[in-house]
Amino acid sequence: MDYKGIYDKEYYDKYVELGATPLAHAIYSGRWALILKYCNNGKILDYGCGPGFFNAHGPKEFIKLNYDVNPNCGFRELPKEQIDILAMWDSIEHIPNFYGEIKKLDADWLFITTPNLESVVEPIIHWKHYRPKEHLFAFDRHSLQVILADLGYQIVEMNYDEGKLRDPNRPQAILTVVAKKVS
């Protein structure tokens, strides 16, 4: 896919700026707390890492790897070695072949945050997360359950905790999913 004009220096710079905010730090802490609830160590790939801030905040017990399609990030290579944990924080909706990528990476654990289609109350074109060419897919609890089951994962937790941090008035707008490989 041609990402030219979408994931450029301006896009990268915006996330560098956002990543330095107190809200971003609270989000990173919440994400690591969630991972630590299920995993004590392992090799984690932050797929769609942007500037790499999430992994930079992680505990030393983890081997932290980053990947992003934006050439300004400097994390352009997917790992060749097996990973234990695949984190797709706000990225699954951007990936043209997310199904194939999840299957290929074959992690034991999958952690996802994504806009929740169930939260849409306005016409879709006015939805905050409606971003043609950037958000290629929209998910809800049911679609993720079906997709992940087909990939051999069982969902062990779904919550709106990150959504509560981002927008306390509409916490259900962001869905967090934890899934464990079962087959």
User: Could you report the per-residue pLDDT of 142-165, keeping only the tens digit for each?
Assistant: 999 999 999 999 999 999 999 999
Is residue 134 in some structural domain?
yes
Q: What percentage of residues in the chain have a pLDDT greater than 70?
A: 97
Is residue 90 in some structural domain?
yes
Mean pLDDT of 169-178: 95
Order of all β-strands in the sheet with 174-181: 62-67, 42-47, 85-89, 109-115, 174-181, 153-159
Is residue 157 in some structural domain?
yes
Is residue 46 in some structural domain?
yes
Q: What is the pLDDT of residue 34?
A: 98
Is residue 4 in some structural domain?
no
Q: What is the pLDDT of residues 24-51, one digit of tens each?
A: 999 999 999 999 999 999 999 999 999 9
Q: What is the pLDDT of residues 85-100, one digit of tens each?
A: 999 999 999 999 999 9
Is residue 115 in some structural domain?
yes
What distance, in Å, lies between the first and last C-alpha atoms of the chain?
Answer: 30
Q: Residue 181 — very low, low, confident or very high, per pLDDT cuts 50/70/90?
A: very high
- Quote the DSSP letter at residue 125: G
The predicted model scores a pTM of: 0.94
Q: Residue 123 — very low, low, confident or very high, per pLDDT cuts 50/70/90?
A: confident
Q: Which residue in 174, 118, 180 sits closest to 149, CA to CA?
A: 180
Q: Residue 115 — very low, low, confident or very high, per pLDDT cuts 50/70/90?
A: very high
Q: With 70 as the cut, is the pLDDT of residue 178 above it?
A: yes
Count up the domains in the chain and report the number: 1
The parent domain of residue 113 ranges over 9-181
Contacts of 31 (CB under 8 A, 6+ apart): 54, 87, 89, 111, 113, 162
Q: What is the pLDDT of residues 47-88, one digit of tens each?
A: 999 999 999 999 999 999 999 988 889 899 999 999 999 999
- Which domain CATH number covers 110? 3.40.50.150
Is residue 2 in some structural domain?
no
Q: What is the pLDDT of residue 1?
A: 61
Residue 4's SS3 state is: coil
Return the minimum-mean-pLDDT range out of 9-13, 87-91, 172-176: 9-13
